[in-house]
Chains A and B, each alone.
Chain A
């Protein structure tokens, strides 16, 4: 806590918590305020678009990101404010991404193919921009392993949660993550 002695206290410019602003905008947007929803979009589009890009590689990323925000607009009435809006939006995004049937079909196929696919991912020469190199390596992973790696290591979900999302056994999630990491370690700059 901060104490002020009697006297003059000039208020300085500081940043307001993101969560407070999101909660206000979510309330406004739920009542139909598209400007408030646009503010939410601009605050979260970077994270959502990046999530889509990493989960789906280059498959219609912009379209899927749009789908996510449209779905969020439709579902705003279900946002209760118990979690931060960003968390709620993120879970909704995952549901949209995983709901794409082609992706589901691809994921199941990749899980059956297993290790052999992972071993064919070529190592890349080190590039000046390590970030892009590593991100590119992630995109080169097979779909199933990539999604598990993104959900666990990038987004922070637990294996139990990932298993439930993807309809897998926890053990499968763990082994796929390990294999993704083993592949990606070759693409870290030394």
Chain B
């Protein structure tokens, strides 16, 4: 094809031809079947390109990504929150906006576990987060229970361990109340998790799940404080 308009057909398809040229080309099209046919084909190519569907990779790339960003591969709905070390050897962490106050434990070098809690005289359930500018009192947990901690699951596990080790110091009625309410919260968490799994993009469900998990941590922290208070 040696038609001078051939190389400008895409301009016409994309509506980028100056108005004067466009008029002249339209006149040309009336008499040029080849240009008309090619024009139709080029439009089909453009339309076909826009209609391409995306495909997921054959292999799940997430494990590789998780490893490179330093996150363990969490189970569904469990946040993994990395701990960052600040200058001067003090540890701090940032808390996801919607899961604020969810972490009460953090790991420091050497494997010790520090339990962040209010001053011993107070059993107040003031929720975290702890702002870097207002560090909370830290009290070392006995050596027998010093797992490394990171993330919500680990925080829950550590607090449950404190409660389990100290439950003998609480009366059975209090233990029953705590267990009953922890079970109620666990039931609510499970229901929320199932809902999120079915509709992961739902903001309300995600924030409700985060808030319910926070309630569990608050109750566990309160229970751990009770254990300490009566020891």
| Alpha-carbon separation in the docked complex, A27 to B203 (Å) | 12
Contact with A along B48-81 (1 / 0, CB 8 A): 1110111111010110111011011010111111
Q: Which residues of chain B from 75 to 95 have a CB within 8 Å of any chain A CB?
A: 76-82, 84, 93-95
Q: Does A117 contact B (CB under 8 A)?
A: no
Smallest CB separation, B107 vs chain A (Å): 14
CB neighbours of B7 from chain A (8 A): 175, 178
Q: Does A56 contact B (CB under 8 A)?
A: no
CB neighbours of A174 from chain B (8 A): 10-11, 16
When the two chains form the complex, which single residue of A13, A33, A41, A159 contacts B65, counting CB atoms closer than 8 Å? A41
Whether A185 pairs with B38 at a CB distance below 8 angstroms is yes
Whether B203 pairs with A20 at a CB distance below 8 angstroms is yes
Q: Which residue of B lies closest to A19 (CB)?
A: B201
Q: Does B96 contact A (CB under 8 A)?
A: yes
CB neighbours of B201 from chain A (8 A): 15-18, 20-21, 43
CB neighbours of B93 from chain A (8 A): 32
CB neighbours of B57 from chain A (8 A): 45, 49, 61-62, 65
Q: Does A98 contact B (CB under 8 A)?
A: no
User: Given A62-B61, A66-B61, A36–B96 Cβ distance below 8 Å?
Assistant: yes
Tell which of B41, B44, B79, B96 has the most Cβ of chain A within 10 Å. B96
Whether B69 pairs with A21 at a CB distance below 8 angstroms is no
CB neighbours of A17 from chain B (8 A): 201
Q: Does B46 contact A (CB under 8 A)?
A: yes
| Alpha-carbon separation in the docked complex, A184 to B54 (Å) | 19
CB neighbours of A138 from chain B (8 A): 49
| Alpha-carbon separation in the docked complex, A39 to B203 (Å) | 13
Smallest CB separation, A168 vs chain B (Å): 16
CB neighbours of B65 from chain A (8 A): 41, 66, 69-70, 73
Q: Does B149 contact A (CB under 8 A)?
A: no
Whether A154 pairs with B49 at a CB distance below 8 angstroms is yes
Whether B206 pairs with A24 at a CB distance below 8 angstroms is yes
User: Given A16-B203, A34-B74, A69-B61, A135–B10 Cβ distance below 8 Å?
Assistant: no
CB neighbours of A131 from chain B (8 A): 52-53
Q: Does B9 contact A (CB under 8 A)?
A: yes
Contact with B along A144-157 (1 / 0, CB 8 A): 00000100011010
When the two chains form the complex, which single residue of B11, B61, B69, B95 contacts A73, counting CB atoms closer than 8 Å? B69
Q: Can you pick out 8 interface pairs between chain A and chain B where the beta carbons lie within 8 Å of each other?
A: A31-B95, A34-B66, A45-B61, A49-B56, A66-B61, A70-B68, A73-B65, A181-B46
Q: A16-B201, A16-B203, A41-B61 are in contact. List 6 more A-B contacts (CB 8 A).
A: A16-B199, A28-B98, A34-B71, A39-B200, A49-B56, A134-B52
**Nearest 4 A/B pairs, CB to CB:** A34-B71, A21-B201, A153-B49, A178-B10
